[in-house]
A and B are shown apart, each in its own frame.
Chain A
Amino acid sequence: MADEVPNLAESKLTALVVDDNYVNQSMHHKLLDRLGIENDVVCNGQEAVDVHCSGRNYDLILMDMDMPVMNGIQATKRLREMGIESKIAGVTTRAKEEEMQEFMEAGLNDFQEKPLTISKLLSILHKLDFYVHT
């Protein structure tokens, strides 16, 4: 059943999944795993901030928009204020123009509509210069 997907393990990329939904957490964690990207998962924006305060750093953050405690917009702003320069890709099902605009202006490097797939994730990685299509 496994399809041919690139293995980026050699690049030693790390990622953080920020999403309050357990189904999405599982999916995004597995998507990254399949591409050979070591990753952690947290449940909301506050936990994303806390994990960075504890000294962890990631090459890529997949940030959901709607989350309790601290949403993706607030978390992105906060991380940028803290000087976190990781690439942050917003992922959300909400697609209203003004909300996307606000999310991008908070400090995103890219945006993808959920549900994520292997090809959407590769598109993010390619756009953020982590992966070159061959």
Chain B
Amino acid sequence: MNTVVAQLQRQFQDYLVSLYQQGFLDNQFTELRKLQDEGTPDFVAEVVSLFFDDCSKLINSMSRSLERPENVDFKQVDSGVHQLKGSSSSVGARRVKNVCISFKECCDVQNREGCLRCLQQVDYEYKMLKTKLQDLFNLEQQIVQAGGAIPQVNIN
């Protein structure tokens, strides 16, 4: 077997496993990967791209709703958190989803300071995940360009 391909495949496997171990991803990401096939080789990248666009849009919207202390629209914030929780859950973005759970609790009790902290945290987490997944997709590309196949990775 081509040594370069084998090394890249090993790197990919180790990196993906580390993302699960560090809590960035959960089993739903595995489910997402199962849906990718030869006909749609970029499916995972396309869906996570939609997710990150969603994050950016929702975070901006919630930020505006939380801007003025005397006039916070918690219903709007709650709606945004609900959307974000749904999206993050669908792609397996575990850390983002977990922040959304805390965020919802802050909305429920109309805790503006808590909401602002959660907003900052969710912004950080989605950007961190975006960087990590970009690195993962780059590794995939390198494997394919070197003539190899993307390995199946079993996450226990």
Contacts and interface: CB of A to CB of B under 8 A. Distances in A.
Given A2-B34, A93-B82, A27 B89 contact: no
Contacts of B82: 66, 93-94
Chain B interface mostly helix, strand, loop or mixed? helix
Interface stretch (B38-46, B60-68, B112-120, B123-131): B38-46
Interface of B: 28, 31-38, 40, 43, 46-47, 50-51, 53-54, 82-83, 85-87, 89-91, 150, 152
A101 interface: no
A75 to B, nearest CB: 18
Interface in A96-124: 114-118
Report the contact-size class of chain A (Cβ under 8 Å from the partner).
20 to 34
Contacts of B91: 23, 27
Given A23-B50, A93-B85, A1 B34 contact: yes
Interface of A: 1-3, 5, 21-24, 26-27, 30-31, 34, 66, 93-94, 114-118
A24 B35 contact: no
Contacts of B54: 21-23
A2 B36 contact: yes
